Amino acid sequence: MTKQRVLSGVQPTGNLHLGNYLGAIQGWVEGQKEFENFFCVVDLHAITAPHDPRTLAANTLTIAALYLACGIDLEYSTVFVQSQVPAHSELTWLLNCLTPLNWLDDMIQFKEKALRQGEHVSLGLLDYPVLMAADILLYQADKVPVGEDQKQHLELTRDIADRFNHLFGQGQVLLKPPTSLIRAAGARVMSLSDGRRKMSKSDPSDLSRINLLDPPDLIQKKIKNCKTDPVRGLAFDQPDRPECQNLLTLYMLLTGKSKDQVAAETAPLGWGQFKPLLTEALIESLRPLQNRYQALIADPSYLEEVLHQGSYWAGEIAHQTLTTVRQALGYWSPRGSKP
């Protein structure tokens, strides 16, 4: 039986944080044997916000190395860089021309980011979800494992696929509408400074997040300073205790303990006793990943080879879909060759 296909990606905007890991990458790793996987570093998305050309390439390599350090296995997964496969840009243009503009200005992430960017909002930021749809549809992905914040973009991807098939498919499904894979726990990791806000790369305070490459003393400092509440005793699912819910969930996911186990263990504890446990769990679960990362990043020629091969293979698959789309849209091509 052929395996279902998975595609997902992360932007190379600085370091990865615990939200990216628990909401997305840990799920990719756990599911990778079951699927045929494509994981890209989405560097075209990275320039939809102001960026620094001096760090883009290095950040791209960092994210690729982190994928491998987190446990992405090249036996089951293809790792590649989005901009190395030009079909992503071309399909985006073709899909742009059939995506109604009012589907885009409704996107929650666009509204949030546009507010932050003020006068400098680019057309690229508005178009971000169409580029994401192109990423997914090029590979005819069945499943897209992402955090909860990407749900709306996935719905848009399905709508774009349906619209393309309806307008140009002549009764066939030429672009497969994907489904999102969103984890039950970890899909929305919250900020350490405010349990009602998502942990985010764009939060100006580094104390609001745990980055995967944070050293132990920094993790300790961040947990020591993180926001808690004055209520005695720790428990899940309590109204108005978002920080408690977030920190217990992190502890549960990092230790691999069940919710019941964590609830029993932490019920008698105060924050002063729980914080060292959480700190220890964070340091110990990130340590092996950080060691693997250091070894990988010290060998750029290996990473280059991985990405070179990945882009080649991804390009082969992407090209097939692009050809189908060009044919359906009626493009001219030299006689005997496909458009």
Q: Considering only 139-147, 218-226, 274-282, 307-315, which stretch makes contact with ligand TYM by CB under 6 A?
A: 139-147
Q: Which two tokens stand for residue 11?
A: 């932007």
> Binding to ligand TYM (CB under 6 A): which residues in 230-249?
none
Interaction of residue 146 with ligand TYM, rule CB under 6 A: yes
221: annotated active-site residue: no
Which run of H or of E encompasses 315? Answer: helix 300-329
Least Å distance between CB 332 and ligand TYM? 30
Query: Among this protein's residues, is 259 annotated catalytic?
Result: no
Q: Which is nearer to ligand TYM, 149 or 162 (CB)?
A: 149
Q: Which helix (H) or strand (E) holds 314?
A: helix 300-329
Q: How far is CA 40 from CA 80, 175, 210, 224, 293, in A?
A: 5, 19, 23, 35, 17
Residue 289 near residue 16, CB atoms below 8 Å: no
Give bridge partners of residue 180 from the DSSP assignment. Answer: 144
Burial string for 29-48 (b: 16+ CB within 10 Å, else e) reads bebbeebbbbbbbbbbbbbb
Annotated catalytic residue within 151, 201, 227, 257: 201
By CB under 6 A, the count of residues binding ligand TYM is 24
CB of residue 161 to ligand TYM, shortest distance in Å: 13
- The residue (of 10 and 283) whose beta carbon lies closer to ligand TYM is 10
Active-site residue, 257 included: no
Q: Is 150 in the site for ligand TYM (CB under 6 A)?
A: yes
Instruction: Pick out residues in 27-56 that bind ligand TYM (CB under 6 A).
Output: 42, 45
HSE-up (13 A, CA, CB side) for residue 175:
30
Nearest residue (beta carbon) to ligand TYM: 23
10 vs 175 by CB, closer to ligand TYM: 10
Nearest to residue 202, comparing CAs of 44, 50, 39? 50
Question: Which CB, 95 or 231, lies closer to ligand TYM?
Answer: 95
What the block records as the tokens of 228 is: 């808690």
Q: Is 19 in the site for ligand TYM (CB under 6 A)?
A: yes
24 touches ligand TYM by CB under 6 A: yes
Residue 175: name the closest of 211, 206, 137, 148 by CA. Answer: 137
**By CB under 6 A, is residue 135 in contact with ligand TYM?**
yes
Shortest Å distance, C-beta 17 to ligand TYM: 7
Binding of ligand TYM by 144 (CB under 6 A): yes
147-150: long-range contacts, CB 8 A cutoff, minimum separation 24: 147/19, 147/20, 147/23, 147/24, 147/182, 147/187, 147/188, 147/189, 148/23, 148/182, 148/187, 148/188, 149/109, 149/188, 149/198, 150/180
β-pairing, 77-81 with 143-145? unpaired
151 contacts ligand TYM (rule: CB under 6 A): no
Interface residue with ligand TYM among 5, 6, 8, 83 (CB under 6 A) is: 8
- Closer Cβ to ligand TYM, 57 or 295, answer by number: 57
R_g of the chain, CA atoms, integer Å: 21
Q: Which of 3, 111, 176, 198 is catalytic?
A: 198
Comparison of 147 and 177: residue with beta carbon closer to ligand TYM: 147
Catalytic residues: 113, 198, 201
Site residues (vs ligand TYM, CB under 6 A): 7-11, 19-20, 23-24, 42, 45, 132, 135-136, 144, 146-147, 149-150, 187-189, 198-199
